């Protein structure tokens, strides 16, 4: 009898897990942005080079990490955000899986710089493909900077699989917009190849929408709000006359987390019935607040799909909220009195 099963070394286990977390530069950006927001940052800067293939750097002014935590943050299943399985049912942070930094460091060259407000010195760590190259104290500003260089440098097959720069950049902007939309109280900038793409000061949600999508949205947003015991809905919808043929400017956030749901999309569309052509899509940015116990966000590692305990009620509340908003702003079809 020979035994042939072995536990995989951490570096390989991390590389396998990375396949789920980091599909492309934009997925790394999402994780880094979420970490910055989770750290309580009020200002977040993003620097992108070569559509993220060469560099994605996220610099925040959040709470930073101790030297020990800085090293620990790259271990898989290492997190400061949950401690027990009970906590899984009351998640208020973006992160909780403790997988992102370990995954990113397994398939890229990462430089972490971090300092806590009360620490005199910060910590610099360099990791290439899960291998720690350097760890030393360093004079640094308060907060955290994570630079991810040369994604998939050690996984050539995946590197070749990356799409053209315009396509990868589109994904990066998508992820950036989603996080920036849900935190208008945080200032964000995005630089691509030393050019400023976005500069979003702290403001109201309506100002953030205009900052992200352009001046043409000014005066075109209808506020939408409904409070029920089960779920609260708040946000903006676009006026029916501004509906577009292209999908993509529809946003649902559940407890500030961007989610995709064709079922809930239908709820909004159905409220617009009769006001827009059937091949058109209204603009909307809607925030749902719901008891975390009523949802399961652990369905997929990237957490854009979630399960609702009572999806039908959520559907009904959204539909009614949008209908009311449209009615309150007199954007119902004009009546033809000549009949």
Residue 27 main-chain phi, psi, to 5 deg: -70, -35
Largest CA distance in the chain: 92
Among 25, 52, 64, 95, binds Mg ion (CB under 5 A): 95
Of the residues 10, 50, 98, 150, which one makes contact with ligand ADP according to CB under 6 A: 98
Q: Indicate the residue among 80 and 206 with the shorter CB distance to ligand ADP.
A: 80
Beta bridge partners of 254: 257, 288
Q: How many CA atoms lie within 13 A of 1 on its CB side?
A: 2
Q: Which residue has the tokens 């979630």?
A: 306
* Residue from 40, 44, 12 nearest 29 by CA: 44
Assess 36 for contact with ligand ADP (CB under 6 A): yes
Contact 36, 60 (CB under 8 A): yes
Residues 282, 299: Cα–Cα separation, whole Å: 28
Q: Which residue is nearest to ligand ADP (CB)?
A: 95
Q: Is residue 100 part of the contact set for Mg ion (CB under 5 A)?
A: yes
* By the rule CB under 6 A, 73 interacts with ligand ADP: yes
- The nearer residue to ligand ADP, 99 or 226, going by C-beta atoms, is 99
Shortest Cβ 189–ligand ADP spacing (Å): 16
Sequence-ordered alpha helix ranges (H) in the chain: 10-21, 25-38, 67-72, 100-106, 156-161, 165-182, 205-213, 262-271, 311-328
Member of 109, 126, 144, 255 binding ligand ADP (CB under 6 A): 144
Shortest CA distance to 318 belongs to which of 292, 282, 293?
282
Secondary structure E strands in the chain: 43-49, 55-60, 109-115, 122-128, 131-138, 143-149, 187-192, 195-200, 221-227, 231-238, 250-254, 257-259, 284-290, 295-296, 307-308
Piece in contact with ligand ADP (CB under 6 A), picked from 22-30, 72-80, 132-140, 202-210: 72-80
Contact between 27 and Mg ion per CB under 5 A: no
Cβ(281)–Cβ(273) under 8 Å?
no
Closest separation in Å from C-beta 138 to ligand ADP: 16
Which of Mg ion, ligand ADP, none interacts with 144 (beta carbon under 5 to 8 A by kind)? ligand ADP
Q: Choose the stretch contacting ligand ADP; rule: CB under 6 A; options: 34-42, 119-127, 130-138, 303-311.
A: 34-42
Q: Minimum distance between the CB of residue 56 and Mg ion, rounded to whole angstroms?
A: 14
Enumerate residues 78-97 that contact ligand ADP by CB under 6 A: 78-81, 95-97
In terms of Cα–Cα distance, which of 133, 126, 132 is closest to 110? Answer: 126
| 320 lies in the binding site for ligand ADP (CB under 6 A) | no
62 contributes a contact to Mg ion by CB under 5 A: no
Read off the tokens for 29. Answer: 């950006």
Phi, psi of 235 (to 5 degrees): 155, -150
Q: Please report whether residue 18 would count as binding Mg ion according to CB under 5 A.
A: no
Mask 238-277, x = binds ligand ADP (CB under 6 A)?
A: ----------------------------------------
Q: Is 122 in the site for ligand ADP (CB under 6 A)?
A: no
65 contacts ligand ADP (rule: CB under 6 A): yes
Instruction: Name which position in 62, 122, 184, 211 contacts ligand ADP (CB under 6 A).
Output: 62
Regarding 35 and contact with Mg ion (CB under 5 A), the answer is yes
Kindly state the number of chain residues that form the binding site for ligand ADP, as judged by CB under 6 A. Answer: 23
Distance CA 202, CA 235 (A): 17
**Rounded to the nearest whole angstrom, what is the least distance from the CB of residue 302 to ligand ADP in the complex?**
12
Query: By the criterion CB under 5 A, which residues form the site for Mg ion?
Result: 35, 95, 100
Query: By the criterion CB under 6 A, which residues form the site for ligand ADP?
Result: 31, 35-36, 39, 60, 62-65, 73, 78-81, 95-102, 144
């Amino acid at each position: 009898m020979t035994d042939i099963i072995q536990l995989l070394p951490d570096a390989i286990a991390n590389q396998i897990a990375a396949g789920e977390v980091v599909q492309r530069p934009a997925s790394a950006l999402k994780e880094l942005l979420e970490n910055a927001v989770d750290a309580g940052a009020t200002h977040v800067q993003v620097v992108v080079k070569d559509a993220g293939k060469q560099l994605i750097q996220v610099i925040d002014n959040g709470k930073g990490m101790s030297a020990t935590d800085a090293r620990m943050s790259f271990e898989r299943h290492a997190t400061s955000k949950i401690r027990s399985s009970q906590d899984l049912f009351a998640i208020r942070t973006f992160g909780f899986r403790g997988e992102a930094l370990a995954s990113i460091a397994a398939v890229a060259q990462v430089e972490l710089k971090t300092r806590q407000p009360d620490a005199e010195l910060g910590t610099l760590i360099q990791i290439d493909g899960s291998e720690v190259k350097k760890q030393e104290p360093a004079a640094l500003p308060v907060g955290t900077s994570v630079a991810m260089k040369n994604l998939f440098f050690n996984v050539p097959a995946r590197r070749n699989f990356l799409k053209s720069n315009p396509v990868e950049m589109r994904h990066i902007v998508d992820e950036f917009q989603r996080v920036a939309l849900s935190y208008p109280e945080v200032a964000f900038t995005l630089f691509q190849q030393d050019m400023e793409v976005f500069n979003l000061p702290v403001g109201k949600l309506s100002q953030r929408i205009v900052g992200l999508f352009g001046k043409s949205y000014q005066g075109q947003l209808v506020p939408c709000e409904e409070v029920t015991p089960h779920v609260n809905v708040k946000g903006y919808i676009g006026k029916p006359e501004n509906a577009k043929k292209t999908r993509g400017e529809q946003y649902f956030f559940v407890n500030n987390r961007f989610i995709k749901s064709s079922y809930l999309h239908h709820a909004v569309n159905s409220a617009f019935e009769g006001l827009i052509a059937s091949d058109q899509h209204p603009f909307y940015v809607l925030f749902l607040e719901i008891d975390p116990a009523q949802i399961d966000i652990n369905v997929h590692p990237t957490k854009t799909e979630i399960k609702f305990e009572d999806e039908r009620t959520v559907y009904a509340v959204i539909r009614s909220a949008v209908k009311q908003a449209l009615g309150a702003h007199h954007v119902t079809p004009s009546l033809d009195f000549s009949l």
